Amino acid sequence: MESKNNSRAMFVLFLTVFIDLLGFGIILPILPLYAQQLAAKPSEATLLVAIYSLMQFLFAPLWGKWSDRYGRRPILLLTLFGSVIAYIGLGLANSLWILFIARSLAGIMAGNIATAQAYIADITTPANRARGMGIIGAAFGLGFILGPAIGGILTGTDPHNANFHLPSLFAAGLSLLAFLCALILLPESLNSESKAKIQAREHHRRQLNLQELSQRPQFCILIGIYFLVTFAVAAMDSTLALWSKQELNWGPQQTSYLFAFMGIVSTIIQGGLIGLFKKYLGEIKLLILGILGLALGLLLIGFSQSLISLLIATTLIAWGISVSQPTLNSLISQMANPEEQGQILGIASSSSALARILGPTWAGASFMKFGTSAPFLSGSLVVLVALILSLRVTKSSLPKSKIERVAISHIKP
């Protein structure tokens, strides 16, 4: 009976994360153009992407803390219902300030992914936890493939009269469906005894300080690379629609399909090819090749004038993201002792979140001041710095046994 309940909970959690990422994927490609329709400047349009990441950065730890105290189920229900309201606000927005409020609320509620991961940790054993967390990864991948495609279909074929309201309202309907499924099917994973143990463990957990981290140069290098790569990718995500509109006269549908194409390429690579590449190249060489592909892809976008060159560029970018980010997560996790894995990966996640705030902010400002290709060309320079840093990455300080047992894990920036 317990196994049946856990399977049902896994399905509801998969649906929750999948719908979260589906809604994110639907909105991301069209959001800058939606903002422009409401008289936003490019710098204001990209701030809509940054404010989502800022709210997620601030509230994800709070949702996690509150889920330890009050339970996973109430937090998941609250955030799912909040997402419904956020998407309705986005769909009905008739001014830029309403768009900012709705997007801020969506970012606040997006912190529930950490709670979903905590729920999986509650109901799985160490032996099958990787498989459980893989469900989260699968939901990410599917959501980011189907979301942009659905958004592109719903906006319509006319780039000059796109329907920006329908995709948001559709995303609201999906969030409502996830809320109802969780309300009916999802039990609580924590009892009062489990809550007390979690809170006691948190109270006695030793926190890493800056001095200790500074004594781990390899860790600092990897965190720097992680930040720079995420910064460049976030800058691209927030301005690709603006660039394609001005340079190729595209509407939201074409840009959404381009994002879906990148999602398909990423899924193919992460679904099996990355393991093969890792086996023959090793993690460090794979990291270098991934960062190199990302730098070349961003550079090529800056000079693209045709669909063919753009598809080549986005294929290189999808390769770079799909290879570099999981490899970085794996290498970073190897820098930690078992009792500090959560803290180490949490630091990496925070650096990624900060990059997703600063990247779009820089992209919008450079788009206006230096031209439409500036976010991509400057992004390629940022990634070039990451490439130089990656040449200094070494595993010499790690025990061989630890390296061999750490598998590549994937966390979405």
Cα gap 126→119, rounded to integer Å: 14
The tens digit of pLDDT for each residue in 349-388 reads 778 889 999 999 999 999 999 999 999 999 999 999 999 9
The domain made up of 1-199 has a fold known as: Growth Hormone; Chain: A; (1.20.1250)
Per-domain boundaries in the chain: 1-199, 210-413
Question: pLDDT category, 198, cuts 50, 70, 90?
Answer: low
Q: For residue 408, what pLDDT is reported?
A: 38
Helix (H) or strand (E) segment spanning residue 27:
helix 2-27
- On the question of a common fold for 1-199 and 210-413, the answer reads yes
pLDDT band for position 160 (50/70/90)?
confident
Distances (CA, A) of 293 to 288, 306, 351, 364: 9, 19, 22, 24
Task: Give the C-alpha separation, 328 to 285, whole Å.
Answer: 12
Handedness of CA 12, 89, 255, 231 (dihedral sign): negative
| pLDDT tens per residue, range 289-330 | 999 999 999 999 989 988 999 999 999 999 999 888 888 877
At 281 the pLDDT is 85
Give the amino acid at 208. Answer: L
pLDDT at 124 over 80: no
The topology (CATH level 3) of 210-413 is: Growth Hormone; Chain: A; (1.20.1250)
